[in-house]
Structure formats: C-alpha cells, structure tokens
Amino acid sequence: MKRFFHGIRGVCCIGLAVLCAGAAVLLLRLPLFEGGRGYELYPTAFSSAVLQSEDPLLDKCRMAVRGESVRYDGDKKDALIARFCAKILFTEEACGVVNYYCYSPLLRGGVRVYGRLVNLHIALSGEQTAVGSPLILGGF
C-alpha cells in the first residue's frame, strides 16, 4: 500500500512539473501590449510579412513570432515608457510622426539601429500612438 502511494505521489509530481512548464511557456507567449487596436505579429525580424491578429495569444502560441505591434488612440508615449521602464535612445521625425527608439530591460532581444540596441519603438502622431517590439514593421 505504501508503494502505491509513493507511485501516486511521483505521478502527481511529474504532472505538476508538466503543468508548471506549460504555464511558463504560456507566460512567454502573452501579448506584450494590452488593449489597443490593429494588433500585428511579425514572423521574421525584418520582413514585410505582417499578420493582423484578432487573438494575439492564440496566434503567438501557434507560430514563432519575432515582433509585434498595436495602435492606441491618443498620446500613450509616457504611459508606455513607464510601463516598460524604457529609456529613450534617440528620436526621429518624419511626415508629422515622431518616432521614439527605446531600450527596455523588461523586453528580450532587440535590433541594432545606428549602433544602439532597440527593443521598443513608439511612433506618435497627432491622433494615435503605435508601439512595437523590437520595431514597428507595419505602416502607421
């Protein structure tokens, strides 16, 4: 009888370990950005291939994703910088859109832009904010 309970305990421990591993994988696949509209996923780091996603969590679980972005109404730059503890590395302005290239210690990876590691890109126009990691590859 004692042997039976040791076996059950072992099976339960293995099941719990598998469950924890699954939860960890799911946490790594969570969308980076909450709310917004027009969520986009990028299967490659530098490509025009952009997947419009209605369910980013499900899509990120089904495919390898190298980047993602979303749009918000209004100016969300300060809130995004605070949320990701980001440091603005440099800015550019073109056609009424100000681009903030940032580094966040909370995000993995990044790409080199002008020799600096960028992993958070915020584009601010008069009526909307687009944010992407590592960069916004779709139009805004």
pLDDT in tens, 73-124: 999 999 999 999 999 999 999 999 999 999 999 998 899 999 999 999 999 9
Q: Where are the domains of the chain?
A: 31-133
What would the pLDDT profile of 50-63 be if each residue is shown by its tens digit? 777 777 777 777 77
Positions of E strands within 54-94: 67-73, 87-94
Q: Write down the pTM of the prediction.
A: 0.75
Cα angle vertex 80, ends 102, 26, to 5°?
95
Mean of all residue pLDDT scores within the chain? 80
